[in-house]
Amino acid sequence: MVTITVNEKKHSFPQSITLFEVLTQLEISQNGIAIAINNNIIQKSKWPKTTLANTDALLIIKATQGG
């Protein structure tokens, strides 16, 4: 069991999981977002190969327009 925190909410997965798989399973759109794992920004090109470890903390920031 792998438990990670996504924007301060815990999620558990039965096995090792990639960042891309987390986004897919949690139905998070990949457009206009930036992701940090344990306060380290991860380039979008690396999302499919970045495997998450138990207790990792993800911060997902969504771009917004305003003015």
Q: Which CATH class is domain 2-62?
A: alpha beta
- Inform me whether the pLDDT recorded for 66 exceeds 90: no
Q: Do residues 38 and 57 lie in contact, with contact meaning Cβ atoms separated by under 8 Å?
A: yes
Give the integer Cα–Cα distance in Å for 49 and 66.
Answer: 33
CB 47 within 8 A of CB 23: yes
User: Listing from the earlier edge strand, what are the strands of the sheet with 2-6?
Assistant: 9-13, 2-6, 57-62, 33-37, 40-42
Predicted TM-score (pTM) of the model is 0.86
- 16-58: per-residue pLDDT in tens? 999 999 999 999 999 999 999 999 999 999 999 999 999 999 9
45 contacts: CB under 8 Å, gap ≥ 6: none
The full set of domain ranges for the chain reads 2-62
